[in-house]
Amino acid sequence: MTKSNNRESQYPIEPLFLDRWSPRAFTGEVIEEAALLSMLDAAHWAPSSANQQPWRFIYALKGSDDWDKFVALLVESNQEWAKNASALIFVVSKGFNGDISEGRKSYTHSFDAGTAWGYLALQAKLSGFYAHGMGGIEHDKIRQTFDIPEGYRVEAGIAVGRLADKSVLSERNREREFPSQRKPLSEVAFNGKFIAG
Ligand SMILES: Cc1cc2nc3c(=O)[nH]c(=O)nc-3n(C[C@H](O)[C@H](O)[C@H](O)COP(=O)(O)O)c2cc1C
């Protein structure tokens, strides 16, 4: 097993997987665009079905003219803390292969985009930042704001920032500002069978 960040795996793994977590307390400092592009570069080296690379990233940097517009596209409970991030990203995936007129739907576009987000989160940690995924985003407004056509799926948001002291958070968020645990591996990994639950 491996121990790190108040977490313990059941089998030996790289500490990086335990060290990555999703804080909400961010410093609100400005990030160099190149630092964010390193994370997005790592993300786009993710594997994908037939190397279709269906992930798309729309981003804004803290301090830019776009910042308030991006914050407003999060649900209120996420706005509260994510406004102090250094970058906000919306992940969109392309739901068809090739040209839309060819009508070849992709089965794996969301799965592939999820892999890319995972890579981004790991690169963020390696670069001294944290990435926090958000399902709580205004999907329809994002589609309208960025003119995202049919066939593309608005997947999730990501807040990227440097860790701050949890005193910057509301009481509710302060109480849940710690690295979470996981179910026992035996509840999710089955040798030769499937167990629903
Ligand atoms: C796709 C996705 C959506 C999430 N949505 C939200 C969200 O809207 N708001 C929030 O505060 N955290 C959100 N989270 C963070 C999860 O709650 C967190 O990843 C999970 O509890 C595991 O904790 P850890 O990332 O610290 O290991 C989301 C995470 C993912 C991957």
Confidence at residue 151, expressed as pLDDT on a 0 to 100 scale: 96
* Ligand 1 close to Cβ of residue 161 (< 6 A): no
Instruction: Give the CATH fold of the 30-165 domain.
Output: NADH Oxidase (3.40.109)
Pocket test for ligand 1, best of 134, 172, 182 (most atoms within 8 A of CB): 134
From the CA of 98, how far away is ligand 1's center (Å)? 32
pLDDT tens-place string over residues 143-158: 999 999 999 999 999 9
For the chain, give every domain's residue range.
Answer: 30-165
Low-confidence ranges of the chain (pLDDT < 50): none
Q: Does the global pTM surpass 0.85?
A: yes
* Ligand 1 close to Cβ of residue 21 (< 6 A): yes
Q: Of the candidates 3, 35, 5, 38, which has an alpha carbon nearest to the alpha carbon of residue 21?
A: 5
Confidence at residue 101, expressed as pLDDT on a 0 to 100 scale: 87
pLDDT tens-place string over residues 121-142: 999 999 999 999 999 999 999 9
From the CA of 135, how far away is ligand 1's center (Å)? 8
